Amino acid sequence: MSHVVEFLTVNVAVTSLDVTLPIYRALGLTDLEPSVMPELPIAMTDITLDVPGGTGISLISPHEAGLGPVGRFLDKRGEGVYSIALRVDDIEATMEDWAKLGLRWAVPEPIEIPGGRAARYVADRALLNWALPKELGGVLLEVVELRGEVRVDQRLTRAEAVRS
């Protein structure tokens, strides 16, 4: 049986990171280096902002306008909450367990996140998939497993020391 390990982020789809990011910075949130993932099925840029207490908000924008799932989301719904990301201990077991509950997955096998970055973490490998929203009250769940050595991003470690 698989387990949810922690809440990672709320992913917010935005049309312009250049416009939206300064507003979140003004709220006092520390942002990480952008993760650019140009290939489908991801095709987006992600900037995670640390929320004290170990969670985050990720601003996500399509790598190219209208391309990929984030681009389609923005075209159809406009800016807003795109998904919620959860970390699990075993993504394959999670997919199997949750499929037995009737949940459907965006892709048949987990995909690797380039660079092993997920929210505030950097891992040797990071795998993800998305549990589709129909059976989850309209919420798209991003499910992530971190494998190998897992580290908190250095910028957040420094920011937490300053806040203490």
pLDDT in tens, 11-47: 999 999 999 999 999 999 999 889 888 888 889 999 9
Query: What total number of domains does the chain contain?
Result: 1
Asked if 97 contacts 91 with a C-beta cutoff of 8 angstroms, the reply is no
DSSP state letter for 105 = B
Give dist(CA 139, CA 146) in Å, integer: 22
| Segments forming the whole domain that contains residue 45 | 4-163
pLDDT in tens, 94-135: 999 999 999 999 999 999 998 899 999 999 999 999 999 999
Whole-structure pTM over 0.85, yes or no? yes
Give dist(CA 113, CA 76) in Å, integer: 25
* CATH classification of the domain holding 146: 3.10.180.10
